[in-house]
């Protein structure tokens, strides 16, 4: 038999064994697929289970899923597997809730792309969304079944991607989307470095000054589908011409933004590196501080008192530091990257010691999409978190921050069937979180093998 025929035979066998990762449910008229949702009863068996709440692991574990909901969880000798259920025996793996990344940028190019700096003026409006389809798939296959996308290039392309995933046109995580991040003219949320007349943006694009313009910007993002509002309280690493720690909005402006968002039942995520900007944002009532690189003890106390989450994005700090040292970033941006990366190694330890609520976030887009799970390791390595606490940050805490904890974040009867399995035991080696062998979202298996029938 020729090598080519052997290849085709092997491909056919693999196709027969694997559960399809693409929804195969076209409507009767062939117009559109059905919304991806599990059908029937499936039982998952594994050597151990970590439920996302911080509780002790369960050995020799079983989860029963009916349609898109978990119906039973526990040790094998306590759970009855219904007759006729499909059984997936995954062996020496750990079952976990689907991971949650609370800080992503699925739309557009990633750091290090040679076309990245000119993308805002050279790429077609829809190009970033097309890249987003690939990024969403990579994110899901890495075990991240939910993300909070806090700002996108292109006009509301993140809404388009969310719609395509929800309707089954493409695969990807559940998405909370922010539309355009909101900030000052010339600040981190603006597009800088171009001559006058190029990319002069306004409130619909997230560039707004003064309380009334800011309120208008919030209303416009929500009008076009924003689930969450993102603002830039300080400068940033990758933006042109601003200092990484400098405050941008005044307290009055931030307060107006938060009031408008909360009035319309939206939370606010605040990009904030600098010490004073963190405190202004916390005082204004934001739900989360993103990055928090120069956090100090007073800011940490304020966050604990108000229940403000920290989303530390250590993966991004590691990535920009590497980019500065290798010459990918130059000049002021390289200086900012090195300063922020050094500072965040201290601030994450302070946050952990202060018992700030921490939710996993990577700033994916600064890092390569699909590499999100390295954040679990960095929270342990840089922050001194225990493996269990880092897992809670990427499951239950993320669900609480997103307001999805009623249905996601832990493995419990009644919750949506977003379930991941990793090879080995992450409590012994946190790098196991990067070795995802099985992914189920909403009861649909996107990665894994059927190995038995009850």
Instruction: Verify that 161 and 291 share a domain, yes or no.
Output: yes
Q: Give kind and range of the element (H or E) at residue 288.
A: strand 288-291
pLDDT of residue 120: 63
In-domain check, residue 334: yes
In-domain check, residue 36: no
Which of 45, 230, 255, 447 is the catalytic position? Answer: 230
Instruction: Verify that 265 and 328 share a domain, yes or no.
Output: yes
Please say whether the beta carbons of 54 and 392 come within 8 A.
Answer: yes
Tens-digit pLDDT profile for residues 206-223: 899 999 999 999 999 999
pLDDT of residue 64: 97
In-domain check, residue 115: yes
Instruction: Verify that 396 and 336 share a domain, yes or no.
Output: yes
Residues written for the chain: 454
d(CA 359, CA 392): 8
Give the domain-ending residue among 402, 422, 438. Answer: 402
- Region of 76 (left: φ > 0; alpha: ψ -120 to 50; beta: rest) is alpha
Domain count, the chain: 2
Specify the CATH number for the domain of residue 84.
Answer: 2.30.40.10
In-domain check, residue 141: yes
Instruction: Verify that 83 and 139 share a domain, yes or no.
Output: no
Give the domain-ending residue among 367, 382, 402. Answer: 402
Which has the closest alpha carbon to 293: 228, 202, 363? 363
d(CA 131, CA 119): 12
pTM of the model as a whole = 0.89
d(CA 368, CA 318): 12
d(CA 105, CA 237): 15
d(CA 401, CA 377): 21
3-state DSSP call for residue 108?
coil
Tens-digit pLDDT profile for residues 233-292: 998 887 777 778 889 999 999 999 999 999 999 999 999 999 999 999 999 999 999 999
d(CA 19, CA 400): 31
Instruction: Verify that 434 and 305 share a domain, yes or no.
Output: no
Using the structure block, give the residue that is written with the tokens 């062996």: 91
Which has the closest alpha carbon to 439: 451, 454, 449? 449
d(CA 377, CA 315): 10
Instruction: Verify that 320 and 173 share a domain, yes or no.
Output: yes
Tokens found for residue 330: 């130059």
User: Percent of the chain, pLDDT > 90?
Assistant: 72
In-domain check, residue 8: no
Instruction: Verify that 230 and 356 share a domain, yes or no.
Output: yes
In-domain check, residue 6: no
d(CA 24, CA 135): 21
> Is 364 a residue whose pLDDT tops 50?
yes
Whether 441 is a known active-site residue: answer: no
d(CA 144, CA 369): 10
In-domain check, residue 383: yes
Instruction: Verify that 81 and 203 share a domain, yes or no.
Output: no
d(CA 426, CA 435): 10
d(CA 273, CA 284): 16
3-state DSSP call for residue 294?
coil
d(CA 86, CA 124): 45
Number of H helices, E strands in the chain: 13, 16
Which of 158, 190, 363, 418 is the catalytic position? Answer: 363
Tens-digit pLDDT profile for residues 265-281: 999 999 999 999 999 99
d(CA 332, CA 237): 9
In-domain check, residue 69: yes
Tens-digit pLDDT profile for residues 26-62: 455 556 677 788 999 999 999 999 999 999 999 999 9
d(CA 172, CA 364): 14
Give the domain-ending residue among 364, 380, 402. Answer: 402
Question: What interhelical angle do 297-306 and 275-284 show, nearest 10?
Answer: 20
Tens-digit pLDDT profile for residues 302-343: 999 999 999 999 999 999 999 999 999 888 889 889 999 999
Whether 363 is a known active-site residue: answer: yes
Instruction: Verify that 157 and 297 share a domain, yes or no.
Output: yes
Distances in Å between the alpha carbon of 92 and those of 56, 63, 247, 371?
Answer: 17, 15, 50, 23
Please say whether the beta carbons of 143 and 373 come within 8 A.
Answer: yes
Question: What interhelical angle do 374-381 and 314-325 show, nearest 10?
Answer: 90
Domain that holds residue 342: 99-402
Instruction: Write down the mean pLDDT value for the chain.
Output: 88
Instruction: Verify that 326 and 440 share a domain, yes or no.
Output: no
Instruction: Verify that 237 and 380 share a domain, yes or no.
Output: yes
Instruction: Verify that 124 and 75 share a domain, yes or no.
Output: no
């Amino acid at each position: 038999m020729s090598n080519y025929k052997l290849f085709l035979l092997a491909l056919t066998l693999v196709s027969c064994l694997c559960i399809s990762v693409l929804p195969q449910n076209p409507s009767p008229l062939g117009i559109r697929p059905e919304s991806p949702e599990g059908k029937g009863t499936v039982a998952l068996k594994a050597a151990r289970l970590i439920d996302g709440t911080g509780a002790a692991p369960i050995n020799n574990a079983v989860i029963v899923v009916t349609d898109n909901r978990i119906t039973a969880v526990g040790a094998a000798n306590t759970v009855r597997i219904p007759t006729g259920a499909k059984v997936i025996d995954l062996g020496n793996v750990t079952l976990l809730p689907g991971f949650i990344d609370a800080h992503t940028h699925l739309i557009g190019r990633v750091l290090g792309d040679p076309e990245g700096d000119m993308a805002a003026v050279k790429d077609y409006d829809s190009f970033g969304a097309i890249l987003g389809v690939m990024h969403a798939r990579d994110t899901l296959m890495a075990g991240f079944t939910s993300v909070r996308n806090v700002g996108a290039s292109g006009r509301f392309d993140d809404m388009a991607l969310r719609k395509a995933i929800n309707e089954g046109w493409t695969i990807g995580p559940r998405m909370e989307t922010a539309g355009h991040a909101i900030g000052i003219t010339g600040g981190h949320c603006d597009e800088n470095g171009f001559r006058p007349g190029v990319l002069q943006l306004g409130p619909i694009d997230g560039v707004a000054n003064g309380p009334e313009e800011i309120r208008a910007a919030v209303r416009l993002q929500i009008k076009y589908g924003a689930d969450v509002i993102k603002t830039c309280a300080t400068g940033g690493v990758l933006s042109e011409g601003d200092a990484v720690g400098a405050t941008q909005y005044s307290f009055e402006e931030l307060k107006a933004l938060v009031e408008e968002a909360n009035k319309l039942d939206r939370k606010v995520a605040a990009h904030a590196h600098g010490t004073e900007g963190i405190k202004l944002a916390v005082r204004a009532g934001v739900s989360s501080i993103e990055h928090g690189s120069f956090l100090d003890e007073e800011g940490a106390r304020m966050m604990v008192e108000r229940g403000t989450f920290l989303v530390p994005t250590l993966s991004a700090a590691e990535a920009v530091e590497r980019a500065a040292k290798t010459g990918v970033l130059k000049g002021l941006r390289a200086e900012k990257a090195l300063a922020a990366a050094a500072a965040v190694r201290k601030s994450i330890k302070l946050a952990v010691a202060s018992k700030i609520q921490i939710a996993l976030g990577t700033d994916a887009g600064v890092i390569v999409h699909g590499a999100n799970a390295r954040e679990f390791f960095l929270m342990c390595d840089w922050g001194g978190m225990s493996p269990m606490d880092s897992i809670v940050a990427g499951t239950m805490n993320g669900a609480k921050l997103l307001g999805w904890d009623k249905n996601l974040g832990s493995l419990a009867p009644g919750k949506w069937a977003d379930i991941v399995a990793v090879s080995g035991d992450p409590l012994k080696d946190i790098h196991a979180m990067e070795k995802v062998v099985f992914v189920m979202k909403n009861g649909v298996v996107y990665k894994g093998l059927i190995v038995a029938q009850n």
